[in-house]
Amino acid sequence: MVNVLSYDGLGEQLTKRFNLCRYCTRRQFDVDKAVRSTEFLNNCYICLGLMDRLDFILERIQKAVNGVYQFDTFLIGATLPVGFTEREDQIRARFKIRGRESIKSQLLDEIRSRFEIISGRRPDYLLPDVSISVDVANEKEVNVRATSRHIILAGRYTKNRRGLPQKRNKCELCRGEGCGTCSNSGLSGHDSVEGIIGRELVRLTKSKTPIFSWVGSEDEKSLVLGEGRPFFVRLCDPKIRILKSNMILETPEISAVIESTPRCLPSSPIRFCTTTKIIVETADILKSGDLAKLALLENAIVKLQHKTKTITKKIHSIRARKVSANRFALTLVADSGLPFKKFVRGDQVASPSVSEIMGGKCECIQFDILEVNLE
């Protein structure tokens, strides 16, 4: 609202007292005919010629995203030095101008509408595929940076070789940020399930720093069989958002199938049971009837003492088979999170335990995951 001068009078005073480009003049009032000059001014009092550089800014934006990112939606934001606002506020205070659009709002409206036409993509203010930041530094220099929204893929893997850890350490040089040494994976060069799958996904999506969410874990010496262990992986700043088809990864160490369609992480922890084969070694020679005692663990609730908290896990089914004089194979279906080594050993940490039921010291030599069943 203008409450001192008429529109004609305001236009005359503005053009007389200040050098303003047509954009900065138009922001102060609606009547274009009151403004004689429609030319851009590189020495515009408010924007210092910034509004005359819209085409240049758009070129920088296109360079940052075109041929780089696969996207359907976008959002553009901007950071301007306070000097632009201060000079405009000075004019508006002098001429009692209220309720008008800001220079930042006008700049973004112009850039967004032009980029929408040029790119053929649509703006999205909630979950854009690509976010573009325009930073005007020192009131002259324009920097443009683009990042894409992360994607989450789901998959399953089987592990076919003992001695391969599930997780991988962060790259010592970039500490997980992604660099040339680690091929932008953020992970160290040591082999692991995470490293093998992560490297391939980084290559396919041209992303950075994959972050895995595992549905359970296994020992480094364990195999993962059956349909495999489910997992989710978040890929940061992917250039390619969607795989053309489900990815099948086959190596001597692992096999993995990864869904091509992005997913959401579960809103709550996933409940699952595992079927596990455990090789148990006893301190004493096995006698006839010893293994029959383990039937007591069928449907048992195992209490696990963790500091000041007690956790419970259920054994849904169990069966035992003698392997040698002092070894037997234990196959059980149990709730997720049951620590098998502690469950076998006991040591007042887990009760009931295999050692407790057998009446002698037992040790878990190795265990393999036969199946992971989601509930």
Domain shared by 51 and 100, yes or no: yes
Q: What's residue 9's pLDDT?
A: 64
* Closest among 144, 263, 248, 151 to 197, alpha carbons compared: 248
Domain endpoint, select from 258, 286, 314: 258
Question: 326: burial class by Cβ within 10 Å (0-12, 13-18, 19+)?
Answer: middle
Evaluated on CA atoms 185, 188, 189, 190, the torsion sign reads negative
Last residue of one domain, picked from the residues 116, 147, 178: 147
Q: What is the pTM of this model?
A: 0.82
What's the pLDDT score for residue 31? 54
Where is 104: in which H helix or E strand? helix 103-119
**pLDDT top residue among 127 and 33:** 127
pLDDT one-digit tens code per residue, 38-59: 455 678 899 999 998 999 999 9
Q: Identify whether residues 143 and 167 lie together within a single domain.
A: no
User: Are 208 and 339 part of one and the same domain?
Assistant: no
Beta strands 73-79 and 130-137 are parallel
Tokens 């606002």 found at:
85
Flag whether 34 is in a domain.
no
Q: Is residue 33 part of a domain?
A: no
* 23 and 143 housed in the same domain: yes
Is the per-residue pLDDT at 1 higher than 70? no
Q: What is the pLDDT of residue 30?
A: 66
Residue 366 reports pLDDT greater than 90: yes
Same domain, 286 and 369: yes
Number of domains composing the chain:
3
Same domain for 141 and 15: yes
d(CA 106, CA 85): 12
Kindly report the CATH number assigned to the domain that includes residue 178: 3.30.70.2510
- End residue of a domain, out of 258, 292, 318: 258
Domain that holds residue 170: 151-258
**Alpha-carbon span 166 to 54, nearest angstrom:** 50
pLDDT band at 367 (very low <50, low <70, confident <90, very high): very high
- Predicted local confidence at residue 344, as pLDDT: 96
CATH number, domain with residue 307: 3.30.70.3190
156 CB-side CA count, 13 A: 12
Contacts of residue 131, Cβ cutoff 8 Å, sequence gap at least 6: 74, 75, 76, 77, 146, 147, 148, 149
Residue 365 and residue 284 share a domain? yes
Q: Give the DSSP letter string of 320-348.
A: EEEEETTEEEEEEEEETT--HHHHHH-TT
136 and 22 share a domain? yes
| Mean pLDDT to the nearest integer, 186-194 | 77
188 or 104, which is more confident: 104
- Percentage above 90 pLDDT, the chain: 70
Residue 320's nearest CA partner among 284, 358, 274 is 358
Does 278 lie in the same domain as 216?
Answer: no
Per-residue pLDDT tens over the stretch 74-95: 999 999 999 999 999 999 998 8
Q: What is the mean pLDDT of the chain?
A: 89
Q: What is the rounded CA–CA span in Å between residue 226 and residue 160?
A: 11
Whether residue 21 sits in one domain with residue 142:
yes
More confident residue, 26 or 153: 153
